[in-house]
Amino acid sequence: MSSSKKSSDGKSSEIEEAVASLTMPFNKILLTSSDGESFEIDEAVARKFQIIAHMIEDDCAGKAIPIDNVTGDILSKIIEYAKKHVVEPDEDEDEEAKKKLDSWDAKFVEKLDLETIFKIILAANYLNFEGLLGFASQTVADYIKDKTPEEVREIFNIENDFTPEEEEAIRKENAWTFNG
Amino acid sequence: MATFALPFCEIPEDLQLRILSFLSPAEISCFACTSKRFASLCQEDGKIWHVMCDQRWGKKTKIQKWGNGQIPYRLLYKTLKGLENLIGFWRLCGRANPAASSPPLVFFDWGPSFVLGSRVLSTGDDTYQVKKTPFLLLGISSEGRTENFLDLVGGNLRSVDDDLKELEASDNLVSVDVNFMGNGHIMVEENRCFINNNLREEQKSSGDESDDLISSPDFSEMYTQLANKTSPGGDRRRQKRKEKERQASRTKWEPEHFLKVADCSPTPTKPLQGLWKGFCEGSMELYLVKYDEVGGIICRKVEDLSLSRYTPPVFWTPKHAFIRSPFSAEEELLLNSRIHISHLAEVHENVVSGILYIKSSYDLVLPGEAANGLGFLRGEGRVWLYENGTFGFGFLRDQFVIDMKRVALEDGCLADEIEASM
């Protein structure tokens, strides 16, 4: 992060400022989705996607980067999240900011259906966006919490291939493995 | 709820496991009952239990190194779940061992393949530096046995390999059990069985026949008497054995109890709460400030809890509401005329954001005082809360302000012991 140093007489050196602006991240990066949608974002936001951060480091990022595996609707959601999370507030330093951000996150996923969240997981995995991947995974896990196996099957379209006897046996076995 | 949800099966296994890693074991048990495929996914220790350990503790400790990498992750999960309750500050309650090996304040933290408890003491010089010396190590053997080692003299737990075997052989370390008594209370006691087991191991390998009958030092006399009658050549062996047993039966560490320091950090509504360090009568001391349920605050020196019943608090107040600026001229004068007691090299720059009236002992409140609050308005002393979150306190009877700094988990001043100067 840039900070202008004050010289002893209190004036910021013009030369120092000029140097700072050269190294400051003014760059914009253009991302293109698989279905042709384009998104122009700040470099700082783009760096949240490790795969792009590496490209920038290796200097092989031109101004436009194609994201072949992700459609425009999903990419736009991911960018929306990334923009909000460019700077992660420290829980100890700024409790207030953390709470506000958590609240925004909650509203963000509330509007999304499970299919979209799965797509976000796949895309975040591809882009190597750790923060969103963790958050989205936690969100799906929350769907599973406090549900019976039958309810979980329904949500995730899982086919029950157990016979009733097998199901009972596996239930007992798992109860021992996971609760013992 | 979506009816065309993307089947869970279609996302890659590592992402499936990632999602599952956020669940508790009971919830995974339920998920494992949904289909044969997921039952088998959740049966693989190296997969499901690994991600569960990784998700919770991967950033805090090296989960692959515990138990020398040879214990099942399911066991590791159970072990770490228990041990994570230790993390933080604990206070001694009732000293039963010599002061050098028995610290009033202990700090437990994650090591690479174990949990390490360290004594927290002042370094004894003029700085705010706090010394942290390892004294108790909690780990697990390759066979999955809990192994805890207590350092009686200091300096023996500095660099520990992932394999705890070398610690077993050390004479300076005592094998202990750490028993969780619930409610933030642990008891640390010497593990006698460990010693006897080891002794038996040694005896077995030395080929003595009469040894298998020996199960505790009490019976050894009896059996050696019997052995005397049947094997005349065993005198020397017997004497060595007796000597070892005598040594082993000598208790090296008396059981001690520790209570967890809850609330060891300040919060926005309780800015004085937690562990602090400040200079008192020339030396750096550790203090604990607590808020009680009725709106009061008590500050005490950190020491053996069983003693604190008899020692008066450093300061206390029945009401913890601060007076905010602007302050009266009297108050300004009161503070500005004081000398700050803090680290020699520090320049005192703190701006005061709040003032609190305090008392220094449990004097009887005179009948008039409580009613009209006038007596307490004079107060016996003050706490000055600084803008940077620290505070200083002082009494009307003298001209000093004792400036306090936080003792925190991330405290940069929690310095490791330099040499074994204990």
Q: Which pLDDT does position B66 carry in this prediction?
A: 93
- Nearest by CB: A156 against B5, B26, B32: B5
Distances in whole angstroms, Cα of residue B321 to Cα of each of B174, B275, B299, B343: 48, 20, 16, 29
Contact B36 A148 (CB under 8 A): no
Q: What is the mean pLDDT of residues B337-362?
A: 76
Q: What is the mean pLDDT of residues A13-36?
A: 68
Most confident of A26-30, B25-29, B158-162: B25-29
Phi, psi (rounded to 5 degrees) for B226: -65, -45
More confident residue, B401 or B123: B401
Cα atoms in the Cβ-side hemisphere of radius 13 Å centred on B15: 24
- Nearest by CB: A174 against B7, B12, B33: B33
Rg value, chain A, Cα: 23
**Burial A117-138, CB ≥16 within 10 A → b, else e:** bbbbbbbbbebebeebbbbbbb
**Tokens matching residue B11:** 């996302």
**Cis omega (within 30 of 0) on the bond before A149?**
no
Contact B2 A113 (CB under 8 A): yes
Most confident of A100-104, B148-152, B300-304: A100-104
Whole-number Å distance between alpha carbons of B337 and B197? 67
Quick check: B43 pLDDT over 80?
A: yes
CATH classification code of B8-80: 1.20.1280
Contact A147 B30 (CB under 8 A): yes
Secondary structure of residue B138 in the 3-state scheme: strand
Q: Which pLDDT does position B301 carry in this prediction?
A: 86
Counting DSSP H helices and E strands in chain A, the numbers are: 9, 3
Q: What is the DSSP letter of B386?
A: E
Q: Which pLDDT does position B196 carry in this prediction?
A: 54
For the stretch A40-66, pLDDT in tens is 888 889 889 998 888 888 776 666 888
List CB contacts of B331: < 8 A, sequence separation 6 or more. B323, B355, B382
Res. A103 pLDDT band, cuts 50 70 90: very high
- Determine contact, residues A27/A43, Cβ cutoff 8 Å: yes
Poorest-pLDDT segment among B27-36, B213-222, B230-239, B387-396: B213-222
Res. B21 pLDDT band, cuts 50 70 90: very high
Distances in whole angstroms, Cα of residue B394 to Cα of each of B282, B338, B359, B360: 15, 9, 10, 10
For the stretch B88-105, pLDDT in tens is 899 888 777 777 667 788
Nearest CA in chain B to A113: B2
Contact A177 B43 (CB under 8 A): yes
**Tokens matching residue B390:** 């620290």
Quick check: A82 pLDDT over 80?
A: yes
Quick check: B218 pLDDT over 50?
A: no
**Tokens matching residue B196:** 């006897």
Cα atoms in the Cβ-side hemisphere of radius 13 Å centred on B362: 9
Q: CA A141 from chain center: how many Å?
A: 16
- Mean pLDDT, chain B, integer: 78
**Tokens matching residue A178:** 């996971």
In SS3 terms, B6-72 reads as CCHHHCCHHHHHHHHCCCCHHHHHHHCCCCHHHHHHCCCHHHHHHHHHHHHHCCCCCCCCHHHHCCC
Contact A177 B29 (CB under 8 A): yes
Å from A43 to nearest chain B CA? 27
Distances in whole angstroms, Cα of residue B68 to Cα of each of A124, B25, B112, B138: 34, 24, 11, 14
Residue B182's region, left for phi above 0, alpha for psi from -120 to 50, else beta, is left
Q: Which pLDDT does position B206 carry in this prediction?
A: 45
For the stretch B150-208, pLDDT in tens is 888 777 777 777 667 777 777 778 889 999 998 899 999 988 776 555 555 555 544 44
A-chain CB neighbours of B58 within 8 Å are none
Q: Which residues pair with B357 in a beta bridge?
A: B382
B-chain CB neighbours of A178 within 8 Å are 25-26, 28-29, 32
For the stretch B259-291, pLDDT in tens is 998 888 888 888 999 999 888 777 788 899 999
- Nearest by CB: B7 against A133, A156, A170: A156
Q: Which pLDDT does position A107 carry in this prediction?
A: 94
How much of chain A is helix, strand and coil, in % rounded to 5? 60, 10, 35
- Nearest by CB: A149 against B22, B34, B36: B34
Quick check: A4 pLDDT over 50?
A: no
Res. A129 pLDDT band, cuts 50 70 90: very high
Whole-number Å distance between alpha carbons of A44 and B232? 85
Quick check: A14 pLDDT over 80?
A: no
- Determine contact, residues A119/A140, Cβ cutoff 8 Å: no
More confident residue, B236 or B366: B236
Q: Which residues pair with B134 in a beta bridge?
A: B118
Cα atoms in the Cβ-side hemisphere of radius 13 Å centred on B235: 2
- Determine contact, residues B172/B100, Cβ cutoff 8 Å: no
Q: Which residues pair with B384 in a beta bridge?
A: B355, B392
Percentage of chain B lying above the pLDDT 70 cut: 73
pTM, rounded to two decimals: 0.76
For the stretch B382-401, pLDDT in tens is 999 988 888 999 988 888 88
Res. A142 pLDDT band, cuts 50 70 90: very high
Most B CBs within 10 A among A99, A137, A161, hence the mutation to make, goes to A137
- Exposed, middle or buried, B333 (CB in 10 Å: 0-12/13-18/19+)? exposed
Contact B34 A160 (CB under 8 A): yes
B-chain CB neighbours of A158 within 8 Å are 7-9, 34-35, 38
**Cis omega (within 30 of 0) on the bond before B326?**
yes
For the stretch A67-79, pLDDT in tens is 888 999 999 999 9
Q: Which pLDDT does position B60 carry in this prediction?
A: 93
Among the listed residues A28, A53, A34, the one whose alpha carbon sits nearest the alpha carbon of residue A129: A53
What are the residue ranges spanned by the domains of chain B? 8-80, 87-193, 266-363+377-406
- Nearest by CB: B25 against A161, A170, A179: A179
Percentage of chain B lying above the pLDDT 90 cut: 26
Q: CA B378 from chain center: how many Å?
A: 40
**Tokens matching residue B121:** 């003491």
